[in-house]
Structure 1
Amino acid sequence: MKTVMKFFFSLLLLLTLTIPDSLAQSAINPEKRIKELGITLKAPGKPIANFVTAVTVGKLVFVSGHGPVQADGEYVKGKVGKELTVDQGKEAARLTGISLLGALKSHIGDLNKVKRIVKVLGMVNATPEFDKHPQVINGFSDLMVDIFGENGRHARSAVGMGSLPMGIPVEIEMIVELK
């Protein structure tokens, strides 16, 4: 019996190691994952200045900076390290990711067209002594991996700012590659 179990375990391990990454990633359905996570995406409102929410160049989509929009449509506000804790900043970064995905979906129609999240710039409105910017922006990065799997991993900068528009704690922009 032990020999049979070892054989099946070895076979399972071999099959797991030989599945190409592209095939494993093609099984991920971001639209389905968003529903499983209980996330509702909303189309963005009209920008408050002279810009657009997203621009496609070739197979790359450049999504303008977004902030953390709550379910009631209001922005989270506050400075991380003063009014907000690291965990509250991380949640604001997650909400910002949801806002960005809403803009991306509105722009491309279906998130299954996304090949990968390429590059992210995460800006944290923080006190001068605050130094945990990467932990805050992890709220965004973790969400992208939850939704897109390995294709949600991205190059990233997480930087501190003295202020951000409307007093929001986080602003994030991203570059996405389409299939």
Structure 2
Amino acid sequence: MSNVEFITELMTFSRAGPLTQVFVIDALLKQARLVAATPAERFERPMFSGAAWVAAAQEVLDRLEKVYGVARAAEPTQLRSLFAALLDADEIVVDGYETDKVVLTPSLRDPQPFLTTASGSIVEMNDQQLLLTHGEDASTGRFIDIRGEQHSLVLHRLVRTPLRPIDA
């Protein structure tokens, strides 16, 4: 079965009905936003172009915008402290990798605030102002580490809906 046949079958014949179509489109949107906000060099591999990968994500975003009216350009922005933004986030992605650990308070053991990513990178940083662009499911921005290197940042907040009490 080809990828096209698989997606067509999934979106046409699903136990969840049309909800699966919404799920697939939402997943496309979230992944495309994440990839498009990440520097292409983070995806570079032998025989694999990071620039082509980011361009593909951008094309998916453009098509979603055209067909579904998914707005990106008019998303609100906010100037915010990096550390405050990190503290408020439920999930942090730096340069396309989820963070494993975030240490913002200097100590004898860790005198420099830092974070580590799933790729094994250690990013040492100072608090700084950053411009966050708020989307439907995440905020994106860029910050500079203590070595002067720029990093992409995606901050996710989980939507928590209180459970209704069970009637006895």
* TM-score when normalising by structure 1: 0.24
Greater RCO, 1 or 2 (C-alpha within 8 Å, sep 6+): 1
